[in-house]
């Protein structure tokens, strides 16, 4: 065990990012899950074409997602070594209390991390500064497990880690909180899929299932900004952001970026935000672009779009083989 810990410290530095330890360790299972998903969906649909846009495993979409995931792995390691690890260590040194790591605090840490993740995720949709980091994840127009890899290299710069500072300040060890975040993110890999139908209503109510997460990725008006939970849906029910899957999901964003370029997918919203802020106008209004919702427009200013986008009300309808909500496994109506 000591040899393993020494290796982890050697790879990740003195302040270990246990989130990345979990995610990297899970990578073989991620790949296995993707292979199983691919075989299940192709057997179910009888279609093996991956070369045409609209196909569930369109190769250019999958390749873009994978490249974003690889960039995320590298950037997270670098940002933890350069900034995040030291910042969380500083917070830990100034903690209000110190909780032991035992069965009770591990369970408590799971729910606390879920709560923090919910508010990070909600902020990532409703505050444009954080949306610049999260938009790359939602820019995919297909739903398969490669979509889970669509992560941004801007996480550390934008400050996602700030949402997990409060429990560390209160006494939860940073390694424990990061470990739970890694479990959260690893779980979500397997719910980015159309291969799993809607499950029993109780399961759908409590957990972030594939059905619930398909809703989260929808650009249908009733699906936008819903189902923020990572593993659980309890906070969505409590704060009024839960939405079940009813009609076929149209994936993507309302201002759909038309690119598979790694740089564009990472930076398009970040660049547009700064161009909006620097555009002529009253300073007080320009600064509001940072904390207003992504769709907010200031008076007299046309939003900047550096790269080609397509409004959803101009877009083509969903692909002919778009998935309709699968019936619940208990036989109740969909």
Torsion of Cα atoms, 228 then 272 then 312 then 131, to 10°: 0
What's the pLDDT tens digit per position in 133-153?
999 999 999 999 999 999 999
Do the Cβ atoms of 254 and 312 come closer than 8 Å? Answer: yes
CA–CA distance, 104 with 111 (Å, rounded to integer): 11
* Alpha-carbon span 161 to 169, nearest angstrom: 13
**pLDDT-derived band at 186, boundaries 50, 70, 90:** very high
Closest by Cα among 243, 245, 251, 248 to 312:
251
Residue ranges covered by each domain of the chain: 2-239
- Measured distance CA(178)–CA(20) in Å, rounded: 8
Per-residue pLDDT tens digits for 287-309: 999 999 999 999 999 999 998 88
Contact yes or no for 73/24 (Cβ under 8 A) = yes
Q: What is the pLDDT of residue 54?
A: 60
The predicted structure's pLDDT at residue 330? 43
pLDDT at position 332: 38
Look at residue 309 in the predicted model and tell me its pLDDT: 80
Q: What is the CA radius of gyration of the chain?
A: 20
Distances (CA, A) of 160 to 60, 134, 184: 28, 10, 15
Region of 211 on the Ramachandran plot (φ > 0 left; ψ -120 to 50 alpha; else beta): alpha
Q: How far is CA 127 from the centre of its chain?
A: 15
The values of phi and psi at residue 209, to 5°, are: -90, 175
Confidence bin at 311 (pLDDT 50/70/90): low
Alpha carbon distance 111, 82 (integer Å): 29
Give the CA-trace dihedral at 37, 42, 45, 48, to 10 degrees.
140
Confidence grade of residue 57 (pLDDT, cut at 50, 70, 90) = confident
**Cβ neighbours of residue 173 closer than 8 Å, sequence gap 6 or more:** 92, 99, 101
Please state whether beta strands 309-311 and 255-257 pair in parallel, antiparallel, or not at all (unpaired).
Answer: antiparallel
Per-residue pLDDT band for 59 (boundaries 50, 70, 90) equals confident
Residue 283 in this model has a pLDDT that exceeds 90: yes
- pLDDT over threshold 80, residue 240: yes
| Mean pLDDT value across the chain | 88
Q: How would residue 126 be classed by pLDDT, with cut points 50, 70 and 90?
A: very high
Cα→Cα distances 18→8, 77, 78, 93, 138, Å: 9, 11, 14, 18, 25
| Dihedral (Cα; 69, 70, 71, 77), 10-degree rounding | 100
Helix (H) or strand (E) holding 256: strand 255-257
Model confidence at 45, pLDDT cuts 50, 70, 90, reads confident
Q: For 98-118, how does the pLDDT look when each residue is reduced to its tens digit (9 = 90+)? A: 999 999 999 999 999 999 999
Residue 79's pLDDT is what?
92
Asked if residue 227 has pLDDT above 60, the reply is yes
Q: For position 221, what pLDDT does the model report?
A: 94
What does DSSP assign to residue 84? I
Q: What is the pLDDT of residue 334?
A: 31
| pLDDT for position 318 | 46
For residue 168, the model assigns a pLDDT of 96
Q: How far is CA 191 from the centre of its chain?
A: 12
| pLDDT tens per residue across span 247-281 | 999 999 999 998 999 999 999 999 999 999 999 99
CA-angle at 254, arms to 249 and 260, nearest 5°: 90
């Amino acid at each position: 065990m000591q040899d393993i810990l020494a290796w982890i410290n050697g790879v990740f530095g003195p302040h270990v990012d246990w989130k990345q330890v979990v995610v990297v360790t899970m990578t073989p299972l991620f790949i296995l899950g993707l292979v199983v998903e691919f075989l299940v969906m192709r057997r179910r649909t009888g279609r093996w074409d991956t070369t045409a846009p609209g196909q569930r495993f369109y190769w250019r979409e999958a390749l873009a997602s994978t490249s974003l995931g690889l960039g995320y792995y590298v950037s997270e390691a670098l940002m933890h070594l350069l900034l995040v690890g030291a910042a969380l260590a500083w917070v830990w040194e100034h903690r209000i209390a110190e909780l032991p790591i035992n069965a009770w605090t591990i369970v408590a840490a799971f729910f606390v991390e879920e709560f923090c993740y919910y508010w990070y995720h909600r902020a990532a949709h409703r505050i444009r500064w954080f949306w610049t980091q999260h938009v790359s994840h939602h820019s995919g127009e297909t739903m398969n497990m490669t979509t889970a890899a669509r992560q941004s290299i801007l996480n550390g710069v934008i400050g996602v880690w700030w949402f997990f500072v409060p429990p560390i300040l209160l006494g939860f060890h940073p390694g424990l909180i990061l470990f739970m975040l890694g479990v959260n993110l690893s779980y979500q890999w397997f719910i980015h899929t159309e291969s799993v139908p809607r499950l029993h209503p109780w399961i759908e109510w409590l957990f972030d299932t594939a059905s619930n997460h398909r809703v989260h990725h929808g650009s249908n008006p009733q699906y936008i900004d819903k189902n923020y939970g990572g593993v659980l849906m309890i906070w969505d029910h409590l704060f009024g952001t839960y939405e079940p899957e009813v009609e076929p999901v149209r994936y993507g964003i309302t201002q759909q970026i038309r690119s598979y370029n790694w740089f564009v997918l990472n930076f398009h919203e970040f660049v547009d935000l700064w161009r909006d802020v620097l555009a002529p106008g009253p300073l007080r209004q320009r600064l509001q672009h940072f904390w207003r919702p992504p769709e907010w427009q200031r008076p007299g200013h046309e939003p900047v779009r550096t790269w080609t986008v397509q409004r959803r009300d101009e877009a083509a309808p969903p692909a002919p083989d778009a998935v309709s909500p699968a019936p619940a496994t208990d036989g109740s109506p969909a």
